[in-house]
Structures are given as C-alpha cells and as structure tokens.
Amino acid sequence: MTLRLYDTATGEVRDFVPLAAGKAGIYVCGLTVQSEPHVGHVRSAVNFDVLRRWLAATGSDVTFIRNITDIDDKILTKAADQGRPWYNLAYDMKRELDRAYADLNVLPPTYEPAATGHVPEMIELIELLISKGHAYAAEDGSGDVYFDVRSWPSYGELTHQGIDDMEAATDADPRGKRDPRDFALWKGWKSDSEPRTASWPAPWGRGRPGWHIECSAMAGKYLGEAFDIHGGGVDLRFPHHENEQAQSRAAGGAFASYWLHNAWITTSGEKMSKSLGNSLLVPEVLKRVRGIELRYYMVAAHYRSHVEFSFEALDDAASAFQRIERFVEQYPGVVGELPDAFVAAMDDDLGTPAAVAVIHTLVREGNAQPGAAAKLAGQVRAMLAVLGLDPADPAWAAGGSGKAETALAAAMELVMQQRAKARADKDWPTADAIRDALAAAGIDVEDTPDGARWSIQNGSV
Ligand SMILES: Nc1ncnc2c1ncn2[C@@H]1O[C@H](COP(=O)(O)OP(=O)(O)OP(=O)(O)O)[C@@H](O)[C@H]1O
Ligand SMILES: [Zn+2]
C-alpha cells in the first residue's frame, strides 16, 4: 500500500513519492512565541507528529524541522506592554510551548531552528533575490526590502490566485512599494519605537527579517532547496506559504513537493484565537483531562476537519480513551502487528478517525473473547504507539508537571516493598544491595521505627 496525502497545492489526494526513496524531509511552521499556547496552537504540532510517526512506522527515515518565530511585531509590542525585553518574553513563551508539546507527547523535531539564530542565512537569501531582480530596497529610505511580486509570474500558484485578485500585503508601509502586494523580506529598524537589540546589521541598514523569509531560509538550510512536505495551519496558506514558495522558487530551488494544512480548533464555529477571547490555554485544559486524553481528542478527528471544541466532547473522548486504556493495560508489554484496516486508514491521507475506529473494534472484540484478548491487545498497543497514544510510553510519565513525581513514587513503592520483604526474610545482603543501588541513583533510604523512608538526596519530592 502507498501513502496518499491531500496536497493543498494541487487540491488532490495523491501518492506520496519522496525525493529520495526511504527518506522524508518535512518542514512545519512553528509558532510565534508571543503568548501562552492555547489548544488551537498545538493542534498542528499533534497532527504533524502523527504524520511523522506514520512515516517512521512505515520505514521512512524522517527529518522533521519545526521552527520558532522568536522575533516579530507582536512579540515586540507585547514585551513593550509588559515592560520587559522582547527576548525574555519569547524565551518564556517558548518554554511554555515546550511544556505543552511534552504534555501532549509531541516528539521533539530533528531540529528546531529559531529565526533569530538564522539572520545571516536570511540576509544571504535576500541578497540573492535582489541580484536576480526579484527584490528591491524600498525607495523611501525606510531600510525595508520587498519581494517584487510582478517579477515572479508564478506568484499565486500555490493558492490559485491571479495577482490582480490578491489582497495587498499588510506587513509594510505601502509608500515604498512598487505594488501593494509586494511583501517585506526585511524591515528597517525604527529607532524611535523599537529596541536596538531587535535589529541586525544588513547591507540595506539595520533591521530584522520579515516572517516569510525566515521559513524559506531555515527550510533551505536544514532540508535543502527541494524537500518533500511542507505543513502548517490552514490559515498560513496565504500569504505566508504562497510567499515562502515564491521566494524560494525565485531564488532557484524547487521547494516543497507536497503542501499539507491542518484545520482549526473552533469555538462556536470560529477559530479559537486569543484575539477573539475564546481561547483555552493548554495547562487549563490539562486540569480537566490528562495529556494523553487531550491528544486522543485531537487525533480522533481528521487533520483536515475543523474540531468544534467543547468540554462535553472532550469528556466523551477521555471516557472513550479510558476504555481502550483499561483493555491494553491488562496485557503489559505485549506488542503485535498493525491490522491491515488500520494501515489502509492511515495510508488514506492519515485517516485517523477510521484508524481509531479499528482500535475500538479490536477492544470490543478483546473484551468479548478472552481467549483472543492478548493478541488483540498487542495489536491495539501497536496502533496506539503509531498515534503517540501508548499509555505505557515513558513520555507520558516524564511529560507534565507532577507526572514524573507520581511515576517515581509508584516505582519506589514497589522497590521499598521488595526491600521490606528482604528484611522480613532476614536477607540482609539483598536489603543492603537495594539501599546501595538507590543511594547510587541519588535516593537515600532511612530505616526508622515506623518503617523505611526514602528521600532524594539534597532535595525533596
Ligand atoms: N484555533 C486554532 N486551530 C488550529 N490552529 C490554530 C488555531 N489558532 C492558531 N492556530 C495555528 O497556530 C499558528 C500560530 O498562529 P498565530 O501565532 O498566528 O496565532 P493566531 O492565529 O493569531 O492566534 P491567536 O490570536 O490566538 O494568537 C498558526 O499556524 C495557526 O494556524
Ligand atoms: Zn512558515
């Protein structure tokens, strides 16, 4: 069977044929680290994590790049409002985001480039575009550089729009532009209103990169001029992805072979968004359900379908997942083969709703036929692992705050019971060996009249 994916560039589901057999290079636009992540923000990471895991499960060697936009108008404005340096806000929000990803068992990318770490690459790309006649420094002395959309006849090809029907680009002062649709590659430093730390030297004067050029430069650096899949939220198709593709192709590369876009989490039919005031932060939602349940909620929907968020639906998803969990946990350590129906569902444009239905079918069969249950549980566990939903995956213990401690406490209870038994049997060598091994791992054991107690050396749990 062949993986087929819906390519938003062609508007069709088509066979996935990688540039190099057995390999897949994927670039996904990461977030602008300007505020705490809400549930909508992390959907893309979960959806593309499933793609990555599926490619890996079917034998591809995947290079997965997801960037961080850590310099941007919104970051500068918010940091100024909060009276702190922009890089401090960006770093804090990046840590919040990392926590949310860990809580949802999103694998760390192969590499996670930050825009501020790649300014030289962006300048080099802009210079190339200027030398090829596709970009120009604004004539109003602002220090801005724009992409010249009229110089690139294919502009609009990704989103199937003619230039004259397109909206004007809003990312720069229209006065210095040749065409209102020309978009900023470089934004000159506004010394009266922006901190100097948010600007870098460039041939056109100090400034900072525009958003679109960041992704072109970083994708090119880590995946090369041509790579397999570019992903992101559906709202990024235009202008962001159209512009990324125009720049990179105008510079001479083929850029992405396939474009995949995930749909939104909505509330009352509208995109969940901080600016609309209808957003739910990930840590808030994780007070109600576990990370694995929130991930299940997202994975059970197709990545191209909008998901209308409701606590009722979330609770239903959590209950449905618990049925699966109760079944597999009866057969720890058993891992089986992936059923054909699951493979077919995943190969059909990552058909996770059908894939999850296969899991539920096997759980029902397993509960009804005890003789076949162990084998079925192995298959269920294999499917869960592909979706990043195996309850036994240590990532779930390590992820969220407090979970590692809970897991450690449970494991220590077992160890302490074994040691207590050894002491009751007067098996002193075993009791001492356990205590010494724990000490070497940084855990002290103290025997008191009330029984043994353990503690982390120089710390507490
Ligand atoms: N409700 C949502 N559902 C799915 N993806 C979302 C949602 N909100 C934002 N995203 C995705 O998160 C990424 C970053 O979005 P961005 O930083 O532009 O935030 P935003 O859309 O302005 O939201 P907010 O207004 O809450 O800050 C984009 O790729 C976007 O597709
Ligand atoms: Zn991007």
β-pairing verdict for 61-66 and 270-271: unpaired
Residues 391 and 424 grouped into a single domain: no
Residue 207's Cβ-side half-sphere holds a number of Cα atoms within 13 Å equal to 23
What pLDDT shows up at residue 460?
44
What pLDDT shows up at residue 404?
61
Domain termination site, one of 211, 235, 267 = 267
Tokens for 390, please give them. 């195996």
Report the candidate in 264, 284, 270, 281 with the shortest Cα–Cα distance to residue 38: 281
What pLDDT shows up at residue 405?
60
Residue whose Cα lies nearest atom 20 of ligand 1: it is 273
- Which pLDDT band, with edges at 50, 70 and 90, does 89 fall under? very high
Residues 237 and 260 grouped into a single domain: yes
Query: Mean per-residue pLDDT for 161-167?
Result: 92
CA of 111 to the centre of ligand 2 (A): 15
Strand segments, DSSP code E, in 168-243 are 184-188, 207-209, 226-233
What pLDDT shows up at residue 451?
76
Specify the number of domains making up the chain: 3
**1 has a pLDDT exceeding 80:** no
C-alpha distance from residue 317 to each of 51, 99, 160, 310, 341 (Å): 21, 22, 37, 11, 22
- The more confidently predicted of residues 292 and 421 is 292
> In this structure, what CATH number is given to the domain that contains residue 217?
3.40.50.620
Residues 128 and 59 grouped into a single domain: yes
Query: Mean per-residue pLDDT for 266-278?
Result: 90
Does residue 282 belong to any structural domain of this protein?
Answer: no
Residues 408 and 393 grouped into a single domain: no
Residues 324 and 412 grouped into a single domain: no
Domain interval for residue 72? 4-267
If one residue of 235, 238, 259, 297 were mutated to test the ligand 1 pocket, choosing by the most ligand atoms within 8 A of its CB, it would be 235
What ipTM was reported for this prediction? 0.95
Does residue 294 belong to any structural domain of this protein?
Answer: no
Residue list, annotated binding site for Zn(2+)? 29, 215, 240, 244
**140 has a pLDDT exceeding 90:** no
Domain termination site, one of 398, 415, 443 = 398
Atom number, ligand 1, closest to the C-alpha of residue 271: 1
Does residue 81 belong to any structural domain of this protein?
Answer: yes
**354 has a pLDDT exceeding 80:** yes
Residues 339 and 240 grouped into a single domain: no
If one residue of 106, 273, 309 were mutated to test the ligand 1 pocket, choosing by the most ligand atoms within 8 A of its CB, it would be 273
- Which pLDDT band, with edges at 50, 70 and 90, does 175 fall under? confident
Cβ 278 under 6 angstroms from ligand 1 = no
pLDDT tens-digit series, residues 195-229: 999 999 999 999 999 999 999 999 999 999 999 99
Residues 443 and 377 grouped into a single domain: no
Residues 407 and 344 grouped into a single domain: no
Residue whose Cα lies nearest atom 2 of ligand 1: it is 40
Does residue 223 belong to any structural domain of this protein?
Answer: yes
**141 has a pLDDT exceeding 90:** no
What pLDDT shows up at residue 103?
97
Tokens for 27, please give them. 């670039």
> In this structure, what CATH number is given to the domain that contains residue 354?
1.20.120.640
Query: Mean per-residue pLDDT for 229-244?
Result: 98
Residues 391 and 317 grouped into a single domain: yes
If one residue of 8, 41, 306 were mutated to test the ligand 1 pocket, choosing by the most ligand atoms within 8 A of its CB, it would be 41
CA of 40 to the centre of ligand 1 (A): 6
- The more confidently predicted of residues 454 and 350 is 350
Does residue 116 belong to any structural domain of this protein?
Answer: yes
pLDDT over 70 for what percent of the chain? Answer: 96
Q: Fill in the amino acid letter for 370.
A: P
- The count of other CB atoms within 10 Å of the CB of residue 394 is 10
**96 has a pLDDT exceeding 50:** yes
CA of 147 to the centre of ligand 2 (A): 16
Does residue 286 belong to any structural domain of this protein?
Answer: no
Does residue 290 belong to any structural domain of this protein?
Answer: no
Residues 158 and 62 grouped into a single domain: yes
What pLDDT shows up at residue 401?
46
Tell me what the pLDDT averaged over the chain comes to.
94
CA of 236, nearest ligand number: 1
CA of 216 to the centre of ligand 2 (A): 7
Cβ 274 under 6 angstroms from ligand 1 = yes
What pLDDT shows up at residue 171?
78
Cβ 273 under 6 angstroms from ligand 1 = yes
**74 has a pLDDT exceeding 80:** yes
Among 27-31, 138-142, 440-444, 451-455, which stretch is predicted with the lowest mean pLDDT?
451-455
CA of 172 to the centre of ligand 1 (A): 21
Residue whose Cα lies nearest atom 29 of ligand 1: it is 233
As residues whose CB is below 5 A from the ion ligand 2, the structure lists: 29, 215
- The contacts of residue 153 (CB under 8 Å, 6+ apart) are none
pLDDT over 90 for what percent of the chain? Answer: 84
**439 has a pLDDT exceeding 80:** yes
Residues 144 and 214 grouped into a single domain: yes
Residues 160 and 200 grouped into a single domain: yes
The rounded radius of gyration (Å) of the Cα atoms in the chain is 26
**459 has a pLDDT exceeding 60:** no
Cβ 67 under 6 angstroms from ligand 1 = no
Rounded Cα gap, residues 291 and 297, in angstroms: 10
pLDDT tens-digit series, residues 358-414: 999 999 999 999 999 999 999 999 999 999 999 999 999 865 545 566 667 778 878
**DSSP character at residue 108:** P
Tell me the three state secondary structure of residue 126: helix
- Which pLDDT band, with edges at 50, 70 and 90, does 457 fall under? confident
